[in-house]
A = this chain, B = another copy of it.
Amino acid sequence: MISRLIDEITKKNAPVVVGLDPNLSFVPGFLLEEAVREKGEGLEAAASAVLSFNKGIVDAVYDLIPAVKPQIAMYEQFGIPGLRAYRQTVEYCHEKGLIVIGDVKRGDIGSTSEAYARAHLGEMKVGGSVTRPFDEDFATVNPYLGSDGVKPFIKVCNECDRGIFVLVKTSNPSSGEFQDQIAGSEGRPLYELVADKVREWGLDSMDGSYSNVGAVVGATYPEQGAAVRALMPHSFILVPGYGAQGGKAEDLKVFFNKDGLGAIVNSSRGIIAAYTKEPYSGRFDERAYADAAREAVLDMLRDIRENALGEK
C-alpha cells in the first residue's frame, strides 16, 4: 500500500494529507441547522452535518492531494451515528480516489490487536460473507504494549496490502513525559527505541523501497525528526503538527529522505477550519468553507514545495 501512496504523492507533487477532524465547532452553523431540520436534535443530526461538511471539503480538494486522515475520535463522540458517518466518509474518499489514513491510534495485544486490525484494515468473514468493516488503507497504531500489540497489525497489512503508522514521537507539548525518557543500556530516548522497532517491524512488510510500516513524528519536534529519519530509512513518516500546532515548513526538511520522499505532512484545522481564520476569514464566509479549504491546501502545497522540498 505504501507504493500506492508514493505514486499518488508523486503524481500530485503533494506530500500532504488533509485531516478530517470535524470538531462540531468547525462545522458551519447552516450545515447543522439543515441536519437538525431533517433529523431532529441529537447525534444523528451531528453525524449528518459532519458527513456533509466532509463531502464539501473532499469535493474541493481531492484533485490536489493524495490522502486524507479522518480522526475517528471526532466521529466516535457522536456514537453509532458518528461512526456511521466515519465509515461513509471513508467510502466517499475512496470514490474520489483518495487514500484514507484512519487516525485511530488503536493498540492492544494478540487476538485483540488483530481484531482492531481487521476492523480497520482487513476483512471479516461471517459465513460466506466477506466485509471490510471500516476499510481504511492505513491506520495509526500505539506502540506502548510492544511487539505483541503491533505484529497482528502487520500480519493483516500483509494479508490485505494495507499499512500502519506507529506513534513514535507525538506532536503535543507533553509528549516528552514518557517518550523522551532516556532509556536502555546506551542511554537513548525512548522514542528512538520505538523507532528502532519500527525499522525492525518494517522489514516484514516491504513494498518497493519503502515499508508499509511507517511512523508518526510531530512537526513540532524537528530535531527528533532528523534523528528518527536516520534510524528508519525505509519508513514513511506521517507528520502532524504543521500549521495550527506551530510546525513550520522549514522544520519539515529533516523528515524527508534525499529521494524527496519519506514524509507526508498533515494539516487538519488549518485546512478544514480555514474559513474561520486569517488570511481566509475575510474572503470566505461559512457557506464558502470548502473554497477556503481549497485555498488553504494550495497555500500549504506552495509552502511545503518551496520551503521543505526546496523547489523553485
Partner of A41, one of B24, B76, B128: B128
Partner of A110, one of B42, B127, B172: B172
| A83 contacts partner chain B, Cβ-Cβ < 8 Å | yes
Task: List B contacts of A148 (CB < 8 A).
Answer: 172-175
Stretch in A2-10, A59-67, A137-145, A293-301 touching the partner: A137-145
So how many copies of this chain end up in the complex? 2
CB–CB A115/B73 < 8 A: yes
Partner of A112, one of B21, B115, B128: B21
CB–CB A79/B87 < 8 A: yes
Task: List B contacts of A111 (CB < 8 A).
Answer: 23
Partner of A144, one of B110, B118, B143: B143
Partner of A76, one of B23, B107, B115: B115
CB–CB B178/A194 < 8 A: yes
- Chain A contacts with B in 158-195, Cβ cutoff 8 A: 167, 170-179, 181-184, 190, 193-194
Task: List B contacts of A107 (CB < 8 A).
Answer: 105, 142
CB–CB A149/B124 < 8 A: no
| A20 contacts partner chain B, Cβ-Cβ < 8 Å | no
| A13 contacts partner chain B, Cβ-Cβ < 8 Å | no
Task: List B contacts of A108 (CB < 8 A).
Answer: 71, 73, 105
Expressed in whole angstroms, the Cα–Cα distance for A200 and B14 within the complex equals 44
Task: List B contacts of A113 (CB < 8 A).
Answer: 73
| A133 contacts partner chain B, Cβ-Cβ < 8 Å | yes
Expressed in whole angstroms, the Cα–Cα distance for A76 and B182 within the complex equals 36
CB–CB B146/A144 < 8 A: no
Expressed in whole angstroms, the Cα–Cα distance for A178 and B41 within the complex equals 45
Expressed in whole angstroms, the Cα–Cα distance for A184 and B74 within the complex equals 35
**Chain B minimum-CB-distance residue to A110:** B172
10 closest pairs, A vs B, by CB?
A: A79-B133, A41-B127, A146-B174, A146-B177, A181-B183, A41-B129, A73-B115, A109-B172, A77-B115, A42-B129
Can you list 22 contacts pairing A with B, beta carbon distance less than 8 Å? A23-B111, A32-B126, A36-B126, A43-B131, A71-B108, A73-B112, A73-B115, A73-B116, A76-B116, A76-B119, A79-B124, A105-B142, A109-B171, A110-B172, A144-B170, A144-B179, A145-B175, A146-B176, A178-B193, A181-B181, A181-B193, A183-B183
Binding site for B on A (CB under 8 A): 21, 23-24, 32, 36, 40-43, 45-46, 71, 73-74, 76-80, 82-84, 87, 105-113, 115-116, 118-119, 124, 126-129, 131, 133-134, 142-149, 167, 170-179, 181-184, 190, 193-194, 197
Please give 15 more A-B residue pairs, beta carbons under 8 A apart, in addition to A24-B126, A71-B108: A36-B127, A41-B127, A41-B128, A76-B116, A78-B126, A79-B87, A79-B119, A80-B87, A142-B144, A144-B170, A145-B172, A149-B174, A178-B190, A183-B190, A190-B190
